[in-house]
Amino acid sequence: MAIFVVAHGAWSAGWAWKKMRPLMRTAGHEFWTPTYTGVGERAHLANADVDLDTHIQDVVNVLEFEDLRDVVLVGHSYGGMVATGVADRARERIAQVIYLDAFVPEDGKSLSDYLDPQSRNARQTSGDGWRVPPMPMPPDTAPSDVEWASPKRMPQPAKTLSTPIKLSGRPLPPRSYIYCTRTSPDDRFGQFAQRAKREGWGYYELDASHNPHITMPEELAALFDRIASR
C-alpha cells in the first residue's frame, strides 16, 4: 500500500480525480485529493491575494494535520509547481514525487516564465483582472466528460500563475515524470520530459492527452501502482 496525495492542475480541484479513487482503493492504496483555496468546492474563498504559496500551504497542511508520511506526491500540470514547493517544505513526509504532464519549476521561476509570450499575454489580458478563466479541455475528451467537468472548472486566481517559487536548496525526494504524448500544439511539457530524461529520473509515457485521470483512468492507475512499487 502507498499513500498518494495529488496536487491538482489549474482550474481543477479534487472532484476531477473521482474516477481514480475507486481504482486506487482497489489496488490497496490511500488516495488523497485535496482542493486548493479558491477553486472547486473552495471557490467561495477566491480572492486576489491567493497565490502559489497559498496552494503549497494548502497541501502541506493536509500532510501535517492528517500526519501523512512516506507520501507519493503527484503533481499534475500546474500542480507540478505546487508539488515542488510541497516537497521542499515537507521533505521529511515525501517518499517520491510523480510529475504528470506537469511544470517542474526551478527556484525563482513562476509558471508564466515557462509559457511562450503569446500564451503569457493571453492569460494576463483575460478574465477580470485577478482571475484567469479555464482553458478548453483536450479535444479527445468524451462529450459526457466535458458536460460533467466544464461547469466545475473555476477561474484560477492570477497570482498563482505569476508567483515565483522559492526553494530552500535542499535535495528533493526521488522524482519521476509521466509525459502524455498526445500533446497540445505548443507541447509546453516536452521541455520537462526532456529534463527528466537528462537528469535520470524515472521516465514514463502515456498515449494520452493532458488529463489522463479523466480520459484514461485505468491506465493511469496501473502506472501509478507500478511507479509506487519500484
Strand partners for 111: none
Identify the structural domains of the chain with CATH numbers, from first to last. 3-228 (3.40.50.1820)
Contact 96, 173 (CB under 8 A): yes
Cα 111 from Cα 78, distance rounded (Å): 7
Q: Provide the 3-class DSSP secondary structure of residue 218.
A: helix
Residuewise pLDDT in 10s, the chain (230 residues): 999 999 999 999 999 999 999 999 999 999 999 999 999 999 999 999 999 999 999 999 999 999 999 999 999 999 999 999 999 999 999 999 999 999 999 999 999 999 976 555 555 545 578 999 999 999 999 999 999 999 999 999 999 999 999 999 999 999 999 999 998 777 899 999 999 999 999 999 999 999 999 999 999 999 999 999 98
176 is catalytic: no
Sheet-wide strand order for 71-76: 30-32, 3-7, 71-76, 94-100, 175-180, 202-206
- Select which of 77, 110, 176, 209 is catalytic: 77
